[in-house]
C-alpha cells in the first residue's frame, strides 16, 4: 500500500496565531483517515490546506507522490464534500453533478455516462431533475458526495459531512459512506468532531488538538491505549473515569492510592514503568468497572448509586466513590435504585495510568 | 374545584380577542395618522394637477376637481418653458434616461465584481481598500464637486452627458460595493469553495454560481441607483449645460420660473411626471427589494 496523501512540515499562521505547526501526516492508498478533534483544533484547516483552499505558510503537500503545494484545487485530484452540502441552489441535481465536468470541457456523452454512474451508486437517479431546495438533507448530502464521485478523483475530502443531519439520517449515511469506501477503495480524509463517526468509519484516526496530532492509530488502539490524558478523555462516551493519586509501596507491592484508598495494580501491563512516589492519574473506562460481581482479585470498593441512566441495551450508573463521581456501564437489565450501596472492582488489565507531569501513558 | 375544572365548562379553544382593545386602537390609530400624513400631500398634488387655473384660484386645495382636465399634464410634458426652450419636460426626460441607464448598468456591473472580489478573493491590502471605500461613502458629495469639475474639464467631458454618467458611476461605487460585498459575504463560503474544487475560476464562479443566486441584491442595487440617479439634482445642475439638463433640473426651472403667472397645476403635473419613474420602479420591484434587504438574514 503506497502513500496517497503526504503532508510534510505543514505550518499555517493567521497573523500571530499558529493554527498548524510543522504537521506531518502520511495517508495510505485507499485508507480512510479521520481527523478528529474539538472545534478550533485545526482539523478543518488541515483539510482545506490539502484541498488547496488555504495557502500554507510553510511546508509541502503531496498527493499521489506529486507535489501539489502550489496547485489549484481542481488539479489536485481531490473531491470535497462540505458540511452545508454547498450545492448550487440554482442548478438541478444533474447540473450540480456535472458542473465541474462542464467547466473542464468534458464531452457531453462522457458527462452523461459519469452522472448516470454516480446517480446509480448513490441511488439519486429519480432526483436528477430536481433543484436542491426540493431535496431532504440526506438527499442533498448524497448529491454532494456525487459531485466528488463524477470527477473521478483520487482522494475524497469530507468536512463534517453529517453534522447538519438529524441523528437517524446521520447513522444511515455513515453506513453508506463506509459502504462507498468499501466499494470504491478511494483514499478518504474525513473531518469530524463526532467520535462515533470516527470510531466507526476510520482505518486510522488522527486526534488533533491545537494544531498538533496527539495520536494517530487505528480506532481500537486509540480507544484502548490512548497515548495521553487528552486522548483518553476525548475518546469514549461517557468519558473515562480519572483518579488523581500516587504510587506507593504496600506489602512489597506497588499500589495506587487516591484520597487514601488503595487500588491494587494486579493485572496492569506495565507496572515496571512505575516508580514509588510517582504522581499519576489512573484512568478506567466505564465498562471496565464491575458492580457487585465476584472477582478473582478479591479487592472491592464501596460506592453509592447517585443516578441511574437506563439506555436500553446498557444501563449507566453514576456512583459516588472516594470523593469522585464515577460512571459505570452495566447490562441494561440490571437496575439499581439511587442510594443503594454497591461493591466495585476494577479491571486493571484494561486500565491506563498516566504520568501527572507529562500526561503520557505509562 | 377539580370537578368544576373538568366538567367541560369554562375556557376552551382560542382565547377571544376584542376588536376595540386599547392596544388595537393605539396601533391602528398611529398607522392611520402616519398614512394620512404621507398620503395627503400626494392627494393634493394629484387633484391640483387635474384642475384648471380658475378652479385653483378658488383656493380650496383639498376639494376634488369639478372638471377634470389633463391639459396641465400635456403642457408640463411638451410646452412648459424653461428659459429659451419651450418643449416642457420631454427633453429632460430623454436626457435623464440617457444618463440613468448606462450609469446604473456600469456602476452595478463594476460594484458587483468589486464586492465579489472583496468577499471571496481576499488579496493583499483588501481590507485597506475596503476601508478607503467605506470612508468614500461617508464624504459629502459637495466636497468633491469642484475637484470633479476640474477633472472632467481636463479629460474633456465637462458639460457632456458622458461626464455626468462617469460621475454617477464613480459616486455610486462605495455604497454599492459595500452592499454587494456584504451580500456575497453572507452567502455560504462553502459554495465558493465547492466552485473552486469543481475547477471554476474567478469569472466562472462569478457568472455561473454567484450571479444566479444574487437577483435580490441586484434588484436592491438597481432601485437604489435608478431612484438616486433619476432624482439627482446637484450633479445634474453642476455637470451639464441647458441642452443636457436632466429632468430634475428641468423641473426646477419650470417650477421656479419667475415670468408670468405661477401655474400650480402645471407645476404639480410636472413634479408627478418626474416622480413617475422611481414610483414605477418601487411598485414593480418592491417585493424583491424587501427580499434583498432581508437576504442577509435568510439561509440560502
Examine the pLDDT at B63 and tell me if it is beyond 90: no
Average pLDDT for A184-209: 93
Based on the domain organization, do A197 and A252 belong to the same domain?
A: no
Specify the DSSP element, H or E, that contains A112. helix A108-122
Nearest 5°: phi and psi at A134? -95, 15
Average pLDDT for A307-333: 90
* Total number of domains constituting chain A: 2
Q: Tell me whether residues A53 and B198 touch, CB distance under 8 A.
A: no
Based on the domain organization, do A132 and A202 belong to the same domain?
A: yes
Question: In chain A, pLDDT over 70 holds for what percent of residues?
Answer: 98
Q: Tell me whether residues B197 and A80 touch, CB distance under 8 A.
A: yes
Residue A350 lies in a domain: yes
The three cell numbers locating residue B56: 385653483
Q: State the pLDDT at residue B300.
A: 36
Q: State the pLDDT at residue A45.
A: 92
Q: Euclidean distance between the first and final Cα of chain A, in Å?
A: 32
Among A219, A234, A249, the domain boundary falls at: A234
The nearest CA of chain B is from the CA of A154 a distance in Å of 13
Examine the pLDDT at A53 and tell me if it is beyond 80: yes
**Per-window interface: B 172-231 vs A, CB < 8 A:** 188, 190-191, 193-200, 204, 208-209, 212-213
Question: In chain A, pLDDT over 90 holds for what percent of residues?
Answer: 58
pLDDT band at A101 (very low <50, low <70, confident <90, very high): very high
Task: Supply the range of the domain harboring residue A214.
Answer: 3-234
Q: Which residues of chain A have a CB within 8 Å of the CB of B215?
A: none
Based on the domain organization, do A50 and A138 belong to the same domain?
A: yes
Based on the domain organization, do A246 and A208 belong to the same domain?
A: no
Q: Is B174 helix (H, G, I), strand (E, B) or coil?
A: helix
Q: What are A62-96's pLDDT values in tens digits?
A: 999 899 999 999 899 899 999 888 999 989 999 99
Of the ranges A220-234, A252-266, B179-193, which one carries the lowest mean pLDDT score? A252-266
Q: State the pLDDT at residue B292.
A: 60
Q: Which residue of A has its CA nearest to B199?
A: A74
Q: Which of B118, B248, B216 is nearest to B174 (CA)?
A: B118
* Residue B240 CB coordination number (10 Å): 20
Is it true that the peptide bond before A238 is cis, omega within 30 degrees of 0?
Answer: yes
Q: What are B244-268's pLDDT values in tens digits?
A: 889 999 888 888 876 777 888 888 9
Q: Tell me whether residues B199 and A104 touch, CB distance under 8 A.
A: yes
Residue A360 lies in a domain: no
Q: State the pLDDT at residue B293.
A: 59
Among A195, A217, A234, the domain boundary falls at: A234
Q: What are A275-310's pLDDT values in tens digits?
A: 888 899 999 999 999 888 766 666 788 899 999 999
Indicate the residue of B199, B209, B300 with minimum beta-carbon distance to A74. Answer: B199
Residue A99 lies in a domain: yes
The nearest CA of chain B is from the CA of A75 a distance in Å of 8
Examine the pLDDT at B298 and tell me if it is beyond 50: no
Based on the domain organization, do A151 and A294 belong to the same domain?
A: no
The nearest CA of chain B is from the CA of A30 a distance in Å of 21
Q: Tell me whether residues A147 and B199 touch, CB distance under 8 A.
A: no
Indicate the residue of A73, A83, A87 with minimum beta-carbon distance to B197. Answer: A73
Based on the domain organization, do A209 and A259 belong to the same domain?
A: no
Based on the domain organization, do A187 and A309 belong to the same domain?
A: no
Q: Which of B136, B51, B92, B26 is nearest to B253 (CA)?
A: B92
Q: State the pLDDT at residue B5.
A: 61
- Mean of per-residue pLDDT scores for chain A: 90
Q: What are A210-250's pLDDT values in tens digits?
A: 889 999 999 999 999 999 999 999 998 889 999 999 998 88
Cβ(B279)–Cβ(B227) under 8 Å?
no
Residue A304 lies in a domain: yes
Average pLDDT for B95-114: 94
Q: State the pLDDT at residue A1.
A: 54
The nearest CA of chain A is from the CA of B196 a distance in Å of 6
Based on the domain organization, do A229 and A287 belong to the same domain?
A: no
CATH value at residue A110: 3.40.50.300
Among A234, A260, A277, the domain boundary falls at: A234
Average pLDDT for A43-52: 93
Q: Which residues of chain A have a CB within 8 Å of the CB of B196?
A: 52-53, 72-74
Contacts of A81 (CB under 8 A, 6+ apart): A141, A144, A145, A147, A148, A156, A157, A158, A159, A161
Based on the domain organization, do A280 and A181 belong to the same domain?
A: no
Q: What are B212-231's pLDDT values in tens digits?
A: 988 888 988 998 899 899 99
Based on the domain organization, do A265 and A197 belong to the same domain?
A: no
Domain boundaries of chain B, sorted by first residue: 19-69, 90-297
Q: State the pLDDT at residue A111.
A: 94
Q: State the pLDDT at residue B86.
A: 76
Q: Which residue of A has its CA nearest to B215?
A: A90
| Domain covering B90-297 assigned CATH 1.10.3720.10 in the classification | yes
Q: Is A157 helix (H, G, I), strand (E, B) or coil?
A: strand
Indicate the residue of B194, B195, B213 with minimum beta-carbon distance to A90. Answer: B213
Based on the domain organization, do A23 and A48 belong to the same domain?
A: yes
Alpha helices (H) along chain B: 2-6, 22-49, 53-57, 71-78, 90-120, 126-138, 141-154, 161-186, 189-197, 202-204, 215-231, 234-239, 247-255, 264-294
Based on the domain organization, do A257 and A203 belong to the same domain?
A: no
pLDDT band at B291 (very low <50, low <70, confident <90, very high): low
Q: If you search the block for the grid coordinates 419651450, which residue do you land on?
A: B86
Q: Which residue of A has its CA nearest to B203?
A: A103
Residue A205 lies in a domain: yes
The three cell numbers locating residue A296: 478473582
Residue A362 lies in a domain: no
Q: State the pLDDT at residue B33.
A: 96
Residue A361 lies in a domain: no
Residue A85 lies in a domain: yes
Q: Which residue of A has its CA nearest to B121?
A: A53
- Cβ neighbourhood burial of A313 (10 Å; 0-12, 13-18, 19+): exposed
3-state secondary structure A10-67: EEEEECCEEEEEEEEEEEECCCEEEEECCCCCCHHHHHHHHHCCCCCCEEEEEECCEE
Amino acid at each position: 500500500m503506497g502513500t496517497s496523501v503526504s503532508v510534510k512540515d505543514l505550518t499555517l499562521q493567521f497573523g500571530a496565531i499558529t493554527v498548524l505547526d510543522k504537521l506531518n501526516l502520511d495517508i495510505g492508498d485507499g485508507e480512510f483517515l479521520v481527523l478528529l478533534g474539538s472545534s478550533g483544533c485545526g482539523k478543518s484547516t488541515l483539510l482545506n490546506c490539502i484541498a488547496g483552499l488555504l495557502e500554507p505558510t510553510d511546508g509541502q503537500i503531496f498527493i499521489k507522490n506529486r507535489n501539489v503545494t502550489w496547485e489549484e484545487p481542481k488539479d489536485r485530484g481531490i473531491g470535497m464534500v462540505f458540511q452545508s452540502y454547498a450545492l448550487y441552489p440554482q442548478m438541478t441535481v444533474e447540473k450540480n453533478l456535472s458542473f465541474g465536468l462542464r467547466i473542464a470541457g468534458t464531452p457531453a456523452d462522457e458527462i452523461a455516462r459519469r452522472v448516470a454512474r454516480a446517480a446509480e451508486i448513490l441511488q439519486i437517479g429519480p432526483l436528477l431533475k430536481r433543484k436542491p431546495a426540493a431535496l431532504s438533507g440526506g438527499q442533498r448530502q448524497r448529491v454532494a458526495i456525487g459531485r466528488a464521485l463524477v470527477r473521478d478523483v483520487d482522494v475524497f475530502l469530507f468536512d463534517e459531512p453529517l453534522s447538519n443531519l438529524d441523528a437517524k439520517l446521520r447513522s444511515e449515511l455513515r453506513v453508506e459512506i463506509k459502504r462507498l469506501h468499501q466499494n470504491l477503495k478511494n483514499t478518504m480524509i474525513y473531518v469530524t468532531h463526532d467520535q462515533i463517526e470516527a470510531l466507526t468509519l476510520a482505518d486510522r484516526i488522527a486526534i488533533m488538538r491545537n494544531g498538533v496530532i496527539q495520536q494517530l492509530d487505528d480506532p481500537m488502539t486509540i480507544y484502548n491505549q490512548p497515548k495521553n490524558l487528552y486522548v483518553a478523555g476525548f475518546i469514549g462516551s461517557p468519558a473515562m473515569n480519572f483518579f488523581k493519586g500516587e504510587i506507593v509501596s504496600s506489602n512489597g507491592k506497588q499500589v495506587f492510592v487516591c484520597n487514601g484508598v488503595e487500588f491494587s495494580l494486579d493485572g496492569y501491563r506495565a507496572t515496571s514503568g512505575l516508580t514509588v512516589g510517582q504522581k499519576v492519574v489512573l484512568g478506567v473506562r466505564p465498562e471496565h468497572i464491575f458492580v457487585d460481581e465476584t472477582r478473582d482479585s478479591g479487592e472491592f470498593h464501596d460506592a453509592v448509586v447517585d443516578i441511574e441512566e437506563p439506555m436500553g441495551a446498557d444501563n449507566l450508573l453514576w456512583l459516588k466513590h472516594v470523593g469522585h463521581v464515577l460512571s459505570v456501564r452495566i447490562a441494561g437489565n440490571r437496575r439499581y435504585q439511587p442510594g443503594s450501596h454497591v461493591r466495585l472492582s476494577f479491571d486493571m488489565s484494561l486500565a491506563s495510568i498516566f504520568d501527572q507531569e507529562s500526561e503520557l501513558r505509562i | 374545584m377539580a370537578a368544576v375544572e373538568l366538567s367541560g365548562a369554562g375556557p376552551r379553544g382560542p382565547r377571544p380577542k376584542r376588536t376595540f382593545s386599547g392596544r388595537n386602537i393605539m396601533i391602528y390609530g398611529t398607522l392611520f395618522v402616519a398614512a394620512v400624513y404621507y398620503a395627503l400631500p400626494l392627494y393634493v398634488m394629484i387633484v391640483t394637477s387635474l384642475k384648471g387655473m380658475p378652479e385653483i384660484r378658488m383656493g380650496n386645495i383639498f376639494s376634488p376637481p369639478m372638471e377634470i382636465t389633463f391639459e396641465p399634464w400635456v403642457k408640463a410634458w411638451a410646452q412648459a418653458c424653461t428659459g429659451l426652450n419651450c418643449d416642457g419636460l420631454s427633453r429632460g426626460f430623454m436626457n435623464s434616461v440617457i444618463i440613468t441607464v448606462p450609469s446604473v448598468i456600469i456602476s452595478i456591473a463594476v460594484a458587483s465584481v468589486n464586492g465579489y472580489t472583496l468577499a471571496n478573493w481576499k488579496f493583499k491590502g483588501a481590507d485597506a481598500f475596503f476601508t478607503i471605500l467605506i470612508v468614500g461613502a461617508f464624504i459629502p458629495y459637495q466636497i468633491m464637486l469642484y475637484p470633479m469639475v476640474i477633472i472632467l474639464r481636463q479629460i474633456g467631458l465637462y458639460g457632456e452627458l458622458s461626464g455626468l454618467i462617469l460621475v454617477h458611476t464613480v459616486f455610486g461605487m462605495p455604497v454599492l460595493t459595500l452592499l454587494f460585498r456584504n451580500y456575497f459575504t453572507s452567502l455560504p463560503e462553502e459554495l465558493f469553495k465547492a466552485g473552486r474544487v469543481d475547477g471554476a475560476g474567478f469569472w466562472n464562479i462569478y457568472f455561473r454560481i454567484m450571479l444566479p443566486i444574487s437577483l435580490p441584491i441586484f434588484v436592491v442595487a438597481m432601485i437604489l441607483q435608478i431612484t438616486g440617479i433619476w432624482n439627482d439634482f446637484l450633479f445634474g445642475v453642476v455637470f451639464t449645460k441647458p441642452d443636457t439638463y436632466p429632468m430634475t433640473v428641468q423641473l426646477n426651472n419650470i417650477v421656479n420660473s419667475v415670468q408670468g403667472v405661477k401655474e400650480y397645476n402645471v407645476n404639480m403635473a410636472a413634479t408627478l411626471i418626474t416622480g413617475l419613474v422611481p414610483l414605477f420602479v418601487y411598485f414593480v420591484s418592491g417585493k424583491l427589494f424587501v427580499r434583498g434587504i432581508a437576504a442577509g438574514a435568510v439561509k440560502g
